[in-house]
Structure 1
Amino acid sequence: MAYIVPINTREDIFPQYLNTPISDLIEYHNFDKPNDIKYDHAKILVAMCMDNRKRLNIPEKFAYIIRTGAGNLRTSEFKVSYAVAVGGVRAIALIGHNNCGMANLNAKEEKFINGLVDVGWDRKAAEDHFYHFAPMFEIGNELDFVLAEARRLRQRYPRVLVAPLMYQLEDNRLYLLENDQ
């Protein structure tokens, strides 16, 4: 089972993330850490949802940012590899959020299809589009997805620090994720 862990002070940040770009990200965003450092290259890759209700408080050039539905990197792995291999980042923050539209996609099937038909798609083409891609982008539970994606990326990039985080829309803050397994 996944747990959301509040980060109200620097001491709340898990020890493995302290003094890394992960703790810098949290401190910039949650604590308004002064961001007067002028970065000349990215220190971290941030993967987060394309949802327009979220914005990070971070300095310029601090992070590569990939925004996809649910922050799902399964179809963006070449971009991740680029950030690691060419960009030199050694930390990845996976930021999920509550009330994500990619959770329970099947419940949105009719709205999705009708929305495409409304902008000129043929109904059959819209249905095929949904049935083809929805399984690839369905995430299930937001917390479990972020933890599973972090495990997958840790196996793929064993020398890169990967941190699963959650963004709560109600307070616009980052939270750590912990698994009791």
Structure 2
Amino acid sequence: MRALRSRVRLVSLLSLVAVLASVAWVAYRHWRDRPPFSVSAVHATATVRFTEWSRFEQDARAIGAEDLGARPAGRPDDRLFVGRLEHRTPTGAGDQDVFHVLVVDKRNERFAGVGNLTQGPPSYLAGLSQRYPWLPAPRGAEDGQAWSVAVPANRPGPISFAGGLPASQGLTEADLMVVLVLVGQDGTAYWAARVSG
């Protein structure tokens, strides 16, 4: 009888430990995947202007797009654009939190190349189109072009960006969607916000 009671106690204790471990794991995952601040804390707005290679610097200055670095990569016949995303620096933004600015041609759901930094779509984009139906699956930017402009989330704005899209008839600024994504240090995309378009 004692042996049976001991076994029942042991099974009960192991069950309790398993339940507590499960609860701890779920709580940790919730804490880890929780954004350090919400999208509403950012108050983002964007301005985009199409330009030409010969007027690039002038148009960038006209909308206040500073610190663009080198001109974006692309073909000479690309439709070049320059943009500026204004935002508040949110309380709770850490050194490891990163804002990514993406530009999408809504007509054909293609991402624009916005720099010369990386090749291929970033890993955080993979699941975002499932969470946000308005965001297309990653495709579009040419090899050698960045898919996004990345800046630390705790750096005061604005964020300037520039890029190009293959020239096509009737493409206007209203056809471009500017998206802001918050990515954590482990590559977790906390949220995506449609800033314009």
Instruction: Name the structure with the higher helix share.
Output: 1
Q: Name which one, 1 or 2, has greater alpha-carbon Rg.
A: 2
Note whether the superposition's TM-score is higher than 0.5: no
Instruction: Name the structure with the higher strand share.
Output: 2
TM-score when normalising by structure 1: 0.26
TM-score when normalising by structure 2: 0.24
